[in-house]
């Protein structure tokens, strides 16, 4: 898998974290450097760990699914892409809670919620025989950086473009799923 494809997957996966970061910064009003670091670090960490967990699970299933692994990857990426688009259109990207969303249980729940899609991507990577370590680091670092940017950009960009960015992320994941399917069918 090319570095460009991995980066596109990372960006697609991180756009929901970006939307949550924008909403969190809007909710907080004034954002500190510590809050930006905490949210970016945790979102990036969870986004890096989830594909590894999915990959480990997928490696155990890979020998059984060798003949149709590209269909599984296509199906999972299509599912994730459509889910991201649906969430962007539905406006359910973030439910404000009382307190600081960059601390405690709220931080843990948001970190898990924004990284579940990465589990499916890790499963897809296992089915395709992709070694997970490099993609996991790229996904984690990309998510951390995009989350920090979302916190810093805050309400100015979020009010105008938040839904569009979610839709774009979903379309990127769909396109990658189609690309994987076409490459395997043509080879």
Tokens of 158: 């979020």
Q: Contact, 88 vs 29, CB < 8 A? A: no
Instruction: Provide the mean pLDDT of the chain.
Output: 81
Phi, psi (rounded to 5 degrees) for 130: -85, 130
CB 38 within 8 A of CB 102: yes
d(CA 115, CA 58): 17
User: What are 11-48's pLDDT values in tens digits?
Assistant: 999 987 887 788 777 677 678 899 999 999 999 999 99
- Whole-angstrom CA distances from 32 to 98, 100, 137 are 17, 11, 26
Give residue 96's pLDDT.
42
Q: What is the pLDDT of residue 97?
A: 41
pLDDT in tens, 125-145: 988 889 999 999 999 999 999
CA distance 77 to 81: 6
DSSP state of 92: -
């Amino acid at each position: 898998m090319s570095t460009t494809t991995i980066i596109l997957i990372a960006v697609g996966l991180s756009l929901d974290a970006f939307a949550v970061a924008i909403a969190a910064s809007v909710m907080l009003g004034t954002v500190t450097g510590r809050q930006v670091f905490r949210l970016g670090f945790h979102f990036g960490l969870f986004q890096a760990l989830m594909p590894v967990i999915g990959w480990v699970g997928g490696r155990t299933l890979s020998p059984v699914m060798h003949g149709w692994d590209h269909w599984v990857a296509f199906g999972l990426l299509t599912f994730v892409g459509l889910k991201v688009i649906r969430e962007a259109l539905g406006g359910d990207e973030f439910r404000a809670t009382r307190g600081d969303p960059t601390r405690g249980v709220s931080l843990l729940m948001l970190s898990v919620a924004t990284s579940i899609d990465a589990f499916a991507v890790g499963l897809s990577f296992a089915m395709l025989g992709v070694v997970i370590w490099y993609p996991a680091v790229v996904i984690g670092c990309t998510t951390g950086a995009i989350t920090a940017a979302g916190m810093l950009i805050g309400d100015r960009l979020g009010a105008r473009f938040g839904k569009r960015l979610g839709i774009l992320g979903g379309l990127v994941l769909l396109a990658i799923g189609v690309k994987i399917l076409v490459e395997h069918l043509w080879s």
